Structure 1
Amino acid sequence: ENMLMFVGAPEYGKEAGEDTSSWQTDTWYGTQYRITTVEQSTSEKWQNPVGNQLASHLHLPHPNEFLPSDFDLVTLPENTMKQYFSKKDSPPVCIQNDSEIQLWYKPDTAFRMPKVNIFVSFPVPAKDPTSSVGGVVMSLWTEWQNEVANVFAYAASMAGLHGEWAPNPKRGTIELHVSGYSHKAALFCRRLLETTVGTTAASDDDAPSLDSELWERLVHKMCDQYQSFFMAQVYQHAIYYMDQSLEAVPTPRTIEQRMMELEQLTIADLIAFHKKNFLSTSGLQIMVHGNVAPEQAIELGKAIPQILRGSSEPIAEAPPLKAAAPTLQQRIVQFPRDTSLVFRGKSWNEENTNHCALQYYPFGIVDLPTNACLSLLRHLIAEPAYNQLRTQEQLGYVVHSQLKTSGDHVKALVLLVQGEAKDPVHMDERMRLFWQSVRTQLVEMPDDEFLSHRKALYENFMESKKNLLQESASHWNHITNQTYHFDRIPDIAKHLQTRTKQDVLQLIDRCILYGSSLSIQMFGQGTEIPEIIEGNAENGNRTLALSDPIEFGRTQSLHPLPPTKEVQMVNLHS
């Protein structure tokens, strides 16, 4: 009897065939509207829901099965903590390692919260997961599974649990991430996997969970992601061309080709990818990190293959999982010696008049002392680069330096500038002069100032992780790249303490001033691209034009893969 209700719809009034002659019009927006009362018959029906069967449609929300009620912190035996987890930053340990799964475990020794992170990596048995079709289908599949899981994922999020499927086409894997309160995290993880297995069964009947409306939404979302790249900042286009020249994949594709192949994909293609039941593979990598006992982690590790099989039988009696394809390892191009490569291109955005110059200096595969020295060099140039290139010379409003890691083990230093005032050829020349000034400033730098920079970087390396998820992500990266070097950052920090000014100067001379380089020069709209003049540069390098970054990446020698490492399994029950 006392209610104010608003009803609005795109097709309302004239669009719905109603007479709107008596409707009012909003002064500012010109929107037509009317104010009316609820009909008496409707009001009586609402006041008496039991008598007119409305009660059957009214109910309280269903109980949220993901609400946690157990917030007790797990305590491990004292001898186990002392042997394996005596420090806050102790690495995870492998507690199961066989043909089916590799299970890593670590209790929360730093934050002591009733939370957990569960990461699962599923290898995709495809010949080339990095190909455009493989990458597109993997992305579509993860979007599909996330959409299907929304039915119960919202309730889980209200209970402090979050889960997501994510593709990793460069490694040829699909990952499942679950985080939140530990009491119901395993239940949520099981529900996500059971839903995925359920969509496999549903796909036999033309996949009711993947109708044309959902398919169009998935494709439209991915198409928008590609389209947004064309409208992105020009420095992102420069990074794209840099990556194209570095990564050696059997069937590389441009963004345009990926979009064309996305348009050609059909529901049947995604269902065919799904029917391969790629989740039923061996070689699963799992990490359980947080407020969970080892026995609970092992129980979850056993349950995952059983869910994928669709069988609750003990693992020893269940049919074996299919063999997985070897995990893909990204190969990185080895740059030719004494060569300065130059690529010039145009921004895709027709309204963008900004230019960008990007310089890539390859260092190759480096040991820990060199890695420490390279990190120190990047730390030393961060502020001078911004001060000189942006504030003093006003080359651009974006100045960025980065220590880049490609393929988990190949290092390089990247410096880029984006702006509208100067063309990228001029930017590149000034950036090269900047490196000479860096060397001069370093020679003249007092020893105490150099030591203060080194100390600041050391403290940054040794800074503790801010939260459990940040710590989990760091451990997970070392697991998935199969280096298992969990103490890499502290080890680099140890070598940093012995690096000298002379070490940094030698690095600048060898790899910056007289080393190979790649210059990506992106021109904004309205500016013609000048021809690249090849020949010998002042530093003795050959200057060569790079016309096709993809072809360059396919025709060069490759850095060797990092050596494989054995995983030592521990028994936390002994």
Structure 2
Amino acid sequence: MIQSKHDQCRYQYLTLTNGLRVLLVEDSGSKKSAISATIAMGHFQDPTECEGLSHLLEHMLFLGCQKFNRPNHLADYLSSSGGHVNAWTGTEHSSFYFDTLTQALGPALEQFSAMLQQPNFSVTDIESEIHSIDAEFRLKQKDDLRCLYQVHKETCNHAHPFSKFSVGNSQVFSQFSASELQKMLRTMHSLHYHATNICLCVVSDLPLDQSSTLVKQYFEAIPQREKVPAQELPPLYLPEHLGLILKVVPIKTARRMIVTFALPDIQPYYRSKPLYLLSHLIGDEGQGSLLSHLKKQGLATNLSAGGGIHGSNFKDFNINLQLTVKGASQWSRVLTDIFAYLKLIKRKGISRWRFDERKQFNQLAFDFHDKPRSIELASGLSEQMHHYPQEHLLIGEYLMDSYEPELIQSILAQLNPDNMRLKLIMPELETDREARWYSTPYAVEKLSASLRQQLLDANIAPDMQLPEANPYLCVRTEPHQMDPAFSLPQQLISNTGFKFWFGQDPHFNQPKGELYLSFDSAAIEDSPELRCYKRIWTSMVQDKLNQQYYQAMIAGLNFHFYAHQGGFSLHTSGFSDRQFELAEQIVYDVMRFEFSDNQFEHARARQWQAMQNNLLNKPINRLFTRLSVLLQPLSDSPLDMLPILDTATPEKMRTMQYQLLKQLHLDAFAYGDWSEQQARTFSANISTALLAKAQPIASIPRRIVSLESAQRYLLPVRCQPGENAVLLYLQSPDRSVGGIARSILTEQLLSGPFFNQLRTEKQLGYVVGSGYMPYNQHPGIGFYIQSPTHSVENLVMHIDSFLLRATELIQSIPEQEWKGLKSSISKQLTASDTSLSMRSQRLWLAIGNQDRDFDQQHQLSTQIERLSLNEVVLFLEQLIKGGKPAQLLLYNQPGPNDDVQLKGEIISNMSKFKASAPLVS
């Protein structure tokens, strides 16, 4: 099995006596053990008369089995050992995965194996879970991606299983009695859930022989059956399904064009990756690129290439564009430019050096990639076991060792008008059809002969050119010698306007680094108008940087420029060689940024559309957004920003840019493979050459609004009609280490019971949960529900009833379970970081929290271990029943005249409330 250069894991691939394929990963640095089982079965295997049955099967496996009869038995067990379980059902595969502390791995594997082998399929649970699936379906009815997916299904070959309705709902399932569904579920399970159809991956810090023993103990009992022969699938598209224009009206405001070309399955060509090479050329964003050309014409703002559905006998290759209003009205011109650029690639793009360049980049990416979390690693590998041979399991996604120019040319030949499906997604289109299940308006037209010929005759514009050889690709790959004095970050500069921290990585031994530059601007505090203009400005700057430094980005020098509460930030990451040089140049460009009126207008329009679409988000998402805005003094709501965006001008933007950059404070942190001298030179260059023109200021404190009051605050939020949602936020009295520890433990103790009682038992909705929710590092806890069937008052009543019984519930927890939960959280807090980026992010957060000893995680771990159950009970009683509780209840208000009867003090004007409310640090 080919491993990357710095991969310290040990691997063992084995096949059990029953035929089950297993990959064991020994990772001594893993925080948790993680397990994933992927089954070669998905919604393609649904019976024609009962579409969505595989999705129902996925749900039913969690609701008890012969050996462990209680619903959610595995989830409940894992919650006390710092783990969680989840699953998905795709077209041709289904996957179940979980993580846990290693000491709980044996019992967890026993439950996981029993759950996969012997599900109960209780008639009562089937009837109950149909409501959950229906709630999930209704939740997705307002999802543009799901709506577009259904149009796709209706306009392909109906004999292909892709066309099936994969989710299922009460309308489908109500055609059958629960006992009939039970019989179908048992048949489906028996056919597909057997050893030769399952791939299992276990990632753990246990030695391989111990993992092997556990796997054999619990999984060799899975029955061995003859593998069901692979389906002989018909073509996904017949001739009448190609050469089409699909016109779709979206729910949210969007103007998109998706150009899809129908291809056969390309998985067999993973060693040459022809579509990867083409995606790189088409998706280039530098000078001369297709996107650059379209931006100059004012036709498009974004372009990506290479996505699309895929399966065992099909692959869609997509070119996806975000169009301007002008581009939407001239979409045929945009399409013609795409075909002109494809013509350029056919003439000049299949050179050996281009393949070798991508091969070199992929090898670097493979050798120096960040190690994913254990659960992500296990989940990915168990799926890849179905696609790659053993020796390529780890490198398959990166491998490029076979240059096949004839294959690339044959694929390019298929990127033609007759093999195209063009999707236009715009609000102004005329339609004459409505998609089933999602009521999406759409129309289907055949590509006209004149447009077809126009595409074939497309002329390559003079400014179109393919990217040159990448100047950033040759990097130093041997790390510097590390100085122990910098194993923890040290402050090299501490001035009023500039603080710079530097640390060297003593553990990962990679030639990589992470650099954070966070600018606070004095003008932010007093000007909501400037905060709105700042969003437009950062969007324009990021666009400019993407074009100018795209080659650096694809060579592993990543950068992200974005707005934050106090101003704006630049984060760079990747190979350390030339990263300081790149960051200096970017900061120079930012400080001297110039823009045209057209660039401003496009950025303003994007922000306006984003704000409008935010108002159309799912109710629960709207509530979370509004909570964030209310608690953070320097945040503004979409409703507040839209009037400013409506009247924004480029002239005012130039004034605002001057104000934004006039008074600044910079907090910076560099961590990774750099020498002290390199760090000092970089900080000096930033300080003297780039910040000299700005007046230095102190950093802006990140405070939050205090919710302490004699009664609960109520905040109604206008949402799209259809479903009701509530979010109850409990604010901790303080942000001390003790307050954080109590909040985390309280939420962990209540999350499982809250979900089980209100989601599984009461079936209040599909979206039910709780979470530890800190804002500006101040702790808090949230409880939320979105429901298609229950009123706001009823949802609030259920949450309050649960919380009133919560102290008794906590007091009834067995001592052993309580100790296990504390130990689990404590170990997670103090576990080793799994990647350089994770460690640098943790240290950067510590700097922001004034944690100069970088030991808050250990302090928190110690506090959690010391807390008694009674202290948590007292803390919860203070949150719920205290004389001045700090509570905020957010809920949807579909219409201005809807009267919701709830107790509390209504916040009728959020801006006034924030202006007068006390702030806490």
Question: TM-score, structure 2 length as denominator?
Answer: 0.49
1:564 aligned partner: none
Residue 155 of structure 1 deviates from its aligned partner by 0.7
Amino acid paired to 2:448: Q
Q: Which moved more, 1:114-123 or 1:510-519?
A: 510-519
User: Does the 8 Å contact 1:235/1:418 carry over to 2?
Assistant: yes
Distance 1:413 1:67, change over 3 A: same
Deviation by residue 1:36-87 (Cα, 9 ceiling, x = unmatched): 8999xx9xxx9xxxxxxx9x9999954533223311111134xxx1x552xx
2:146 aligned partner: none
1:32 aligned partner: 448
Residue 704 (structure 2) pairs with residue 332 (structure 1)? yes
1 CA distance for matches of 2:333 and 2:540? 30
1:70 aligned partner: 476
Residue 671 (structure 2) pairs with residue 286 (structure 1)? no
Residue 340 of structure 1 deviates from its aligned partner by 2.2
1:267 aligned partner: 650
User: Does the 8 Å contact 1:360/1:519 carry over to 2?
Assistant: yes
1:183 aligned partner: 577
Residue 521 of structure 1 deviates from its aligned partner by 4.5
Residue 483 of structure 1 deviates from its aligned partner by 4.8
2:597 aligned partner: 212
Residue 693 (structure 2) pairs with residue 296 (structure 1)? no
Amino acid paired to 2:476: D
Deviation by residue 1:19-41 (Cα, 9 ceiling, x = unmatched): xxxx99999842123788999xx
1 CA distance for matches of 2:827 and 2:628? 31
Amino acid paired to 1:109: P
Residue 369 of structure 1 deviates from its aligned partner by 2.7
Residue 535 (structure 2) pairs with residue 174 (structure 1)? no
Distance 1:398 1:147, change over 3 A: same
User: Does the 8 Å contact 2:718/2:892 carry over to 1?
Assistant: yes
1:51 aligned partner: none
1:113 to 500, 510, 514: 510
2:758 to 386, 389, 405: 389
User: Does the 8 Å contact 1:357/1:425 carry over to 2?
Assistant: no
Residue 499 of structure 1 deviates from its aligned partner by 1.1
Residue 590 (structure 2) pairs with residue 196 (structure 1)? yes
Residue 186 of structure 1 deviates from its aligned partner by 1.5
Distance 1:267 1:93, change over 3 A: same
Distance 1:473 1:451, change over 3 A: same
2 CA distance for matches of 1:550 and 1:282? 26
1:434 to 802, 811, 818: 802
User: Does the 8 Å contact 2:724/2:790 carry over to 1?
Assistant: yes
Residue 11 of structure 1 deviates from its aligned partner by 5.1
2 CA distance for matches of 1:253 and 1:374? 27
Amino acid paired to 1:193: V
Determine what percentage of the aligned residue pairs are the same residue. Answer: 16
2 CA distance for matches of 1:300 and 1:184? 11
2:555 aligned partner: 159
User: Does the 8 Å contact 2:707/2:888 carry over to 1?
Assistant: no
1:453 aligned partner: 821
User: Does the 8 Å contact 2:519/2:667 carry over to 1?
Assistant: yes
Q: Which moved more, 1:336-345 or 1:412-421?
A: 336-345
Residue 163 of structure 1 deviates from its aligned partner by 1.3
1 CA distance for matches of 2:741 and 2:587? 42
User: Does the 8 Å contact 1:241/1:549 carry over to 2?
Assistant: no
1:423 to 791, 809, 819: 791
2 CA distance for matches of 1:60 and 1:240? 42
Distance 1:113 1:265, change over 3 A: same
2 CA distance for matches of 1:153 and 1:25? 34
1:102 to 484, 490, 499: 499
Distance 1:277 1:379, change over 3 A: closer
Distance 1:509 1:61, change over 3 A: closer
Deviation by residue 1:168-227 (Cα, 9 ceiling, x = unmatched): 1x2x2221111111112122112212333443xxx5xxxxxx223322221121112101
2 CA distance for matches of 1:30 and 1:62? 38
1 CA distance for matches of 2:545 and 2:473? 17
2 CA distance for matches of 1:180 and 1:26? 37
User: Does the 8 Å contact 1:353/1:526 carry over to 2?
Assistant: no
Alignment of 1:489-500 (within 5 A): 489-500=857-868
Amino acid paired to 1:10: S
Amino acid paired to 1:242: L
Residue 107 of structure 1 deviates from its aligned partner by 0.9
Point out which structure has higher relative CO (alpha carbons under 8 A, 6+ apart): 1
Residue 376 of structure 1 deviates from its aligned partner by 0.9
User: Does the 8 Å contact 1:244/1:549 carry over to 2?
Assistant: no
Distance 1:305 1:546, change over 3 A: closer
User: Does the 8 Å contact 1:68/1:184 carry over to 2?
Assistant: no
Distance 1:281 1:289, change over 3 A: farther
2 CA distance for matches of 1:302 and 1:135? 29
User: Does the 8 Å contact 2:497/2:697 carry over to 1?
Assistant: no
Amino acid paired to 2:889: I
2:891 to 506, 518, 522: 522
Distance 1:483 1:132, change over 3 A: farther
Distance 1:282 1:356, change over 3 A: closer
Residue 144 of structure 1 deviates from its aligned partner by 1.5
Residue 794 (structure 2) pairs with residue 378 (structure 1)? no
User: Does the 8 Å contact 2:522/2:660 carry over to 1?
Assistant: no
Distance 1:557 1:231, change over 3 A: same
Amino acid paired to 1:214: Q
1 CA distance for matches of 2:756 and 2:623? 22
Q: How many pairs are equivalent? A: 485
User: Does the 8 Å contact 1:173/1:327 carry over to 2?
Assistant: no
Residue 267 of structure 1 deviates from its aligned partner by 0.9
1 CA distance for matches of 2:536 and 2:783? 34
Give the 3-state SS of the residue equivalent to 1:71 in structure 2. Answer: coil
Distance 1:36 1:483, change over 3 A: closer
User: Does the 8 Å contact 1:119/1:176 carry over to 2?
Assistant: yes
User: Does the 8 Å contact 2:767/2:785 carry over to 1?
Assistant: yes
Distance 1:61 1:502, change over 3 A: closer
Distance 1:38 1:342, change over 3 A: closer
Amino acid paired to 2:672: G
2 CA distance for matches of 1:26 and 1:523? 43
1 CA distance for matches of 2:889 and 2:715? 5
1 CA distance for matches of 2:908 and 2:855? 41
Give the 3-state SS of the residue equivalent to 2:911 in structure 1. Answer: helix
Residue 527 (structure 2) pairs with residue 139 (structure 1)? no
Give the 3-state SS of the residue equivalent to 2:479 in structure 1. Answer: coil
Residue 880 (structure 2) pairs with residue 558 (structure 1)? no
2:728 aligned partner: 359
Distance 1:220 1:60, change over 3 A: closer
1:545 aligned partner: 906
Amino acid paired to 2:816: D
Distance 1:397 1:99, change over 3 A: same
Residue 502 of structure 1 deviates from its aligned partner by 1.0
Residue 872 (structure 2) pairs with residue 504 (structure 1)? yes
Residue 377 of structure 1 deviates from its aligned partner by 0.9
1 CA distance for matches of 2:644 and 2:660? 23
Q: Which moved more, 1:260-269 or 1:475-484?
A: 475-484
User: Does the 8 Å contact 2:518/2:569 carry over to 1?
Assistant: yes
Structure 2 gaps of 5+ residues are 1-329, 336-416, 422-443
2 CA distance for matches of 1:517 and 1:194? 45
